[in-house]
Amino acid sequence: MHILITNDDGVQAPGLLALVEAFRALGHVTVLAPDRNWSASGHAKTMHRPLRVYETSLADGSPAFTSDGSPSDCVALALLGFIKEPLDLVVSGINPLANVGHDLTYSGTVTAALEAAIGGLPGFACSIDPPDGFSGQAEYGIAAGIIASLVQQAMSKPRPNPLILNINVPLAPRENIKGVAITRQGMRIYRDELIERTDPRGRKYYWIGGEAPTGIADSGTDFWALANGYVSVTPLSLDLTATAMLSTLEAWDLGLG
């Protein structure tokens, strides 16, 4: 397999290197990732300026490409012809925090996988879930090995097109991870707060801050899986239609007025 690896934390992020090392056993790996952090960028697409791509090296000396574009830009560049050899799949991550619940709408990690699906390839968004209060240096090797195994299994099965999987791995010793749970997207609870300040010239500026978000660990959700020591694997769809609402809207008998 020819595997494209990208992320939203920048080409030198340790989670990306861990993926590269794990996926070398599965096939040929090409890296094209942003040159800086694009966390919480959503599905940004650069249309108003040219994109630049540069050669670089990862911390282990292996070659990589980096771009001044967003994560989804990096995937689009690769699929539209910057990478000359055909690609088989795209793996994005490893993000240092879980991407669960409503996070998926913000996540550059996830939208890189969505961009892969738009281009006709399987896309895998990969994150770790550190314990509450964790402040150390994350070790990505265990998660990368689990992710590589899951992707290899998925690629060996009959699968839908597009295939988009959101994978979250507890940051824990291997023996403490209970298994794999197939999950649905849960409910994130945000406690955002608008913080207003004044600069030295008397002009107002704003931060979006507040307490750290939490989630509702309903059975079968991504939150539940991580809270109970399981790897969460959530299938995603590009179709955002609220199918259950169609009959309700039809009953409204909307007209031109």
Identify which of 165, 183, 164, 191 has the alpha carbon closest to the alpha carbon of residue 223.
183
Picking from 108-122, 177-191, 201-215, which range would have the lowest pLDDT averaged per residue?
A: 201-215
**At 113, is the secondary structure helix, strand, or coil?**
helix
Average pLDDT over residues 39-58: 94
- The pLDDT confidence band at residue 96, using thresholds 50, 70 and 90, is very high
Identify which of 45, 30, 35, 32 has the alpha carbon closest to the alpha carbon of residue 9.
35
* pLDDT surpassing 90 at residue 83: yes
Helix-helix angle 14-23:141-155, to 10 degrees: 50
Residue 62: its pLDDT value, please?
96
Whole-angstrom distance, CA of residue 182 vs CA of residue 170: 14
Average pLDDT over residues 154-179: 95
Average pLDDT over residues 57-65: 97
Residue 84: its pLDDT value, please?
96
Residue 67: count of CB within 10 angstroms of its CB: 23
Average pLDDT over residues 57-77: 97
- The pLDDT confidence band at residue 225, using thresholds 50, 70 and 90, is very high
Whole-angstrom distance, CA of residue 100 vs CA of residue 230: 14
Q: What are phi and psi of 191, to 5 degrees?
A: -125, 50
Contact between residue 71 and residue 45 where contact means Cβ atoms under 8 Å apart: no
For 91-103, letters b (16+ CB in 10 Å) and e give bbbbbbbbbbbeb
pTM, rounded to two decimals: 0.94
Residue 134: its pLDDT value, please?
85
How confident is the prediction for the chain on average, in pLDDT?
95
Contact between residue 174 and residue 143 where contact means Cβ atoms under 8 Å apart: no
Whole-angstrom distance, CA of residue 218 vs CA of residue 59: 40
Pairing relation of β-strands 2-6 and 89-95?
Answer: parallel
* pLDDT surpassing 90 at residue 13: yes
* pLDDT surpassing 90 at residue 135: no
Radius of gyration of the chain (CA): 19
Query: How does pLDDT run across 102-127, given as a tens digit for each residue?
Result: 999 999 999 999 999 999 999 999 99
Contact between residue 9 and residue 39 where contact means Cβ atoms under 8 Å apart: yes
Average pLDDT over residues 42-69: 96
- The pLDDT confidence band at residue 214, using thresholds 50, 70 and 90, is confident
Whole-angstrom distance, CA of residue 149 vs CA of residue 26: 9
Contact between residue 172 and residue 205 where contact means Cβ atoms under 8 Å apart: no
- The pLDDT confidence band at residue 188, using thresholds 50, 70 and 90, is confident
- The pLDDT confidence band at residue 150, using thresholds 50, 70 and 90, is very high
